Amino acid sequence: MDMMPALFIGHGSPMNTLELNGHTRAWRRLGKALPRPRALLVVSAHWFIGATAVTAMARPRTIHDFYGFPDVPVVQLSINALQPMDYHLELGSRLSALRGQGVMIVSSGNVVHNLRKIDRHNPDGGTDWAQRFDDAVVDQMMRDPGGILNVLQHPDYDLAVPTPDHFIPLLHAAGLAAAGGGAAPLLRGYAMGSLSMTCYGVGTESLPCEEAAGSATMPEGVPADQTNI
């Protein structure tokens, strides 16, 4: 069996996910270009706990208000908040064997994720420091994904990554890329100044990189530090 592609998806607000915009159009085109997996292993910034765990129950305790998806099994892997950065990079590399079994690994977070610096008046833009850091990560991922921890020394790292939860999913993708297949950006874009929407593919060398715009704006009256994106 051919190696299944792996993805890092830069996620944004629910509006960017649900509304029709440049990002959702690009994601739809990407979905049509990818092969159908036997199963999905998902690593999300929003399961950040003090353990390495997977969902293994027949009926997860989450109540979903959406339905109608194909019958593709989905398992989620937690992010262990107690482990150092190199642990997550190595774990990504070890997960590479699943790609040969038809499992698509999708990690989701943001290369740049600073909610306190959100600028509602800049829906499609990135600040200078956000762009510098995002560009440095693109260079590292394309040139040497196994050396991704080098970007922790970048002068804009502390602004771009004030908390590790949204950045760590990128390390899983970097580990997968270092294990085989390489990495390349599939989508470039920003939202509200301080969020990078950049997406990466591992083993997707035939797919072009798109520039996306048209981010959805935050609803008026929602404080930036109370959002969960």
**pLDDT higher at 160 or 214:** 160
**Which is nearest to 185 in space by CA: 159, 205, 167?**
205
Could you tell me where the DSSP H helices lie in 122-215? Answer: 128-143, 157-160, 168-179
CATH 3.40.830.10 fits 6-59+73-215, yes or no: yes
- Going by pLDDT thresholds of 50, 70 and 90, the confidence category of residue 16 is low
Average pLDDT, the chain: 87
Residue 18 has pLDDT above 80, yes or no: no
Per-residue model confidence as pLDDT tens digits over 152-181:
999 999 999 999 999 999 999 999 999 998
- Going by pLDDT thresholds of 50, 70 and 90, the confidence category of residue 93 is very high
Given strand 183-188, what is the order of strands in its sheet? Answer: 74-80, 39-49, 103-109, 6-10, 199-202, 183-188, 210-211
Per-residue model confidence as pLDDT tens digits over 39-66:
999 999 999 999 999 987 776 666 555 5
- Identify the burial level of 183 via C-beta atoms within 10 angstroms of its C-beta, where 0-12 means exposed, 13-18 middle and 19 or more buried: buried
Residue 215 in contact with residue 26, Cβ under 8 Å?
A: no
Domains of the chain: which residue ranges? 6-59+73-215
Q: What is the pLDDT of residue 65?
A: 56
Q: What is the pLDDT of residue 56?
A: 76
Report the predicted TM-score, pTM, of the whole model to 2 decimal places.
0.87
Per-residue model confidence as pLDDT tens digits over 19-29:
677 777 888 88
Q: Quick one: which H or E segment has residue 187?
A: strand 183-188
Q: What is the pLDDT of residue 124?
A: 86
